[in-house]
Structure 1
Amino acid sequence: MKTKPLKILTLIRWKNLLMITMAQLLIKYALLEPLGVNTSLNSFEFSMLILASICIAAAGYIINDIYDVETDTINKPDKVVINTAITEKLGFNLFVLLNCIGVAIGFFVSYQIDNNALFSLFVIISALLYVYASYLKRLLLIGNIVIALLVATSILIVGIFELLPGITVHNQNVQLAVFKIIFFYAFFAFIITLIREIVKDMEDVSGDSLTGMHTLPILFGLKRTAYIATGLTWFTVIGLLHYLETKLYKNMYASGYFLLFIIGPLIYVSIQLLGPKSNQMFSHVSQVLKLILAFGMLSLLLYKFILLK
């Protein structure tokens, strides 16, 4: 089999890696820098944090595809990369290499801020991605929750490295207040990713049922799973409306942005999920949820106008 190098970009989900990069850059330069809070990383160290994050995430995508060859051959045969464009051996070698690079860079960044204990985060994330691909994804909801937690961690890790090491008696109130904003965005990423993972399971139910998976749609059926996904969607809508009422109501532009680009599309998703079930609909909803996550992260650009007004 002839290796197709460009397919490596597909294998590592380069668009998703760009999303991680964008989210981390926005937290640093659209939230932390304008607010003038005490941060721990200079520009080079922060770029290394981003590089460590995307290396480990890319490794996770590779090992997931290696373990998913049989399922993907049934669900989406035209998108299978392992053993069609790239050998499994090369894929596994890339997985090991990227993990080693990501963990090594994570150690470097932790050492630079004199907090070696934070290095363990990269080891834990790397190990979880492997265990997810090889075992956890087959378990009811556990795999979905693990992936959602890892996406949330890619956002939260900026606050952990930038804010927590710099907390003092004098600035702890400000540092923790800003960390709460980052936590809000991490939780938003968690819940949107969880909904999306459930929707993707609904789309992949045919292949998953033939390969021993125990996902929500396999155990409860598409209709009940759609109700669960809809319930989570409305939980998110209500939470965001409460956030608008308590935090953003004084800023017309921020409120309008959240209503138009996040809350409105989430209501649209809930309507779609309760309609006729088809793989085309599930794929469409999955893409809409990805856009909602992107627009959610882009809302960080509004905070310098909201908080400094």
Structure 2
Amino acid sequence: MNSEKESFQQKNFVSKSLFYRFSQLVGFLLGARFFVAALLTFALYVSTFFLFNQEESFSKFVFDFKVHGIIFCTVLSVLAGGIINQFYDFEKDHIVKPFRTRIQSFIQQKYFLYVYLALTVISLGVATYISYRVLIFFVVYQFFMWFYSHKLSRILILNNLTFVSLTLYPFFGMMVYYQTFSKKVFLMAVFLFLFLLCIDIVKDTLTKSVDKAFGYTTIPNYFKSKNTKIILISLLIITMAVSMKLITKTGISGFMSYYFTGGLFVMVICIYLLLNSSRRTKFLTLNILRFWVFIGILAMLLNGIEGKL
């Protein structure tokens, strides 16, 4: 009888230990925004090969270790940025993201900081090996990610502009690396900037009261609901105008032309949802916009494959 009890206790201890370790792993992945970094990696590879890289063959691209090194440094920097951001937003996230902070509570904050420092050092070390220009590029990137979390995320308008700019910064680096400057690429960059800006402002509308309580001056809690709605609808209309310019003036074709055409209908739907705004419609708008960004990555991939065949 005692042996059976001891066996049960031992199994119970092992299961609790495994759950604890698994929770630590999930907590770290969420804290470092691993899934965001994975999506960014996919987007960088797709855009680099099919948009910026106009001359190299696939085999040359595969063995272009400098490009892989830059993307590797980017991923490490994004992971480090996610960690330092959750460190500064820890109290706010307790309210906004209770499930995530509950999972993260299995890991002490000091270990997040150790990982942040390790990722930063490795990223800059690899960047140094590639070239001093790449090192400067990532020093600037990592500084502004820290400065955004430390200060800029609380400043009106600058918080949104900086967040979107940091999201697009790696793509700008690849554009400069391949010297791919054209009207089409410029308009696509403007489209994506405006689209991500809309996403960030809609996200802020869902955390309006919490942001205000913790001293984050965002567009929704400064300009109030009616003016925020006007700003968002205006941005979506400008984004639609950029889409139409891309479709009619740049000769864009294939899946990307379908994407930008479909995007017009998506933005009309979002405008309708914002006009009938409630917390539910805002949440729905946010997810529609996020999903459409992912569809854009897939459209670029399919368009690129079609063009290479």
> What's the offset of the Cα at 1:181?
4.2
Does 2:300 match 1:295?
no
Aligned residue identity for 1:67: Y
> What's the offset of the Cα at 1:136?
0.6
Does 2:18 match 1:36?
no
Q: 1:79 to 1:242 in 2, by over 3 A?
A: same
Aligned residue identity for 1:157: G
1:17 corresponds to: 37
Does 2:120 match 1:99?
yes
> What's the offset of the Cα at 1:82?
7.9
Q: 1:150 to 1:126 in 2, by over 3 A?
A: same
Q: 2:141 aligns with which of 125, 128, 134?
A: 125
Q: 1:139 aligns with which of 155, 159, 163?
A: 155
SS at match of 2:181: helix
Q: 1:145 to 1:81 in 2, by over 3 A?
A: farther
Q: 1:30 to 1:40 in 2, by over 3 A?
A: closer
Alignment partners' CA distance in 1, 2:120 and 2:63: 24
1:143-154 pair list within 5 angstroms = 143-154=159-170
> What's the offset of the Cα at 1:253?
5.2
1:77 corresponds to: 98
Alignment partners' CA distance in 2, 1:105 and 1:273: 45
Higher relative contact order (CA 8 A, sep 6+): 1
SS at match of 2:250: helix
1:217-232 pair list within 5 angstroms = 217-232=220-235
> What's the offset of the Cα at 1:184?
3.7
Alignment partners' CA distance in 2, 1:80 and 1:43: 40
Q: Whose helix fraction is larger, Structure 1's or Structure 2's?
A: 2
1:59-208 pair list within 5 angstroms = 59-80=80-101, 84-109=105-130, 111=131, 116-161=132-177, 163-164=178-179, 175-177=180-182, 180-208=183-211
Q: 1:247 to 1:303 in 2, by over 3 A?
A: farther
Q: 1:218 to 1:22 in 2, by over 3 A?
A: same
Alignment partners' CA distance in 1, 2:181 and 2:101: 44
SS at match of 1:195: helix
Q: Which runs of 5+ in 1 are unaligned?
A: 165-174
Query: Highest CA radius of gyration, 1 or 2?
Result: 2
TM-score normalised over the length of structure 2: 0.83
Point out 4+ residue stretches in structure 1 off by more than 6 angstroms: 38-41
SS at match of 2:25: coil
1:250-265 pair list within 5 angstroms = 251=253, 254-260=256-262, 262-265=263-266
SS at match of 1:176: coil
Aligned residue identity for 1:94: V
Q: 1:87 to 1:62 in 2, by over 3 A?
A: same
CA deviations over 1:119-167 (Å, ceiling 9, x no partner): 2110011011111111111100101100100111121211222x14xxx
Alignment partners' CA distance in 1, 2:72 and 2:47: 15
TM-score normalised over the length of structure 1: 0.83
> What's the offset of the Cα at 1:220?
1.1
Alignment partners' CA distance in 2, 1:124 and 1:187: 22
> What's the offset of the Cα at 1:212?
1.3
2:9 corresponds to: none
1:277 corresponds to: 278
SS at match of 2:276: coil
Give the fraction of aligned pairs with identical amino acids, expressed as a percent.
Answer: 22
CA deviations over 1:90-141 (Å, ceiling 9, x no partner): 11111111111222222222x2xxxx23421100110111111111111001
> What's the offset of the Cα at 1:305?
5.2
Aligned residue identity for 2:291: L
- 8 Å Cα contact 2:184/2:250 also seen in 1: no
- 8 Å Cα contact 1:248/1:254 also seen in 2: no
Alignment partners' CA distance in 2, 1:181 and 1:156: 14
> What's the offset of the Cα at 1:238?
1.0
- 8 Å Cα contact 1:11/1:81 also seen in 2: no
Aligned residues: 285
CA deviations over 1:203-227 (Å, ceiling 9, x no partner): 1112111111111111111221122
Q: Which runs of 5+ in 2 are unaligned?
A: 1-19
Q: 1:117 to 1:245 in 2, by over 3 A?
A: same
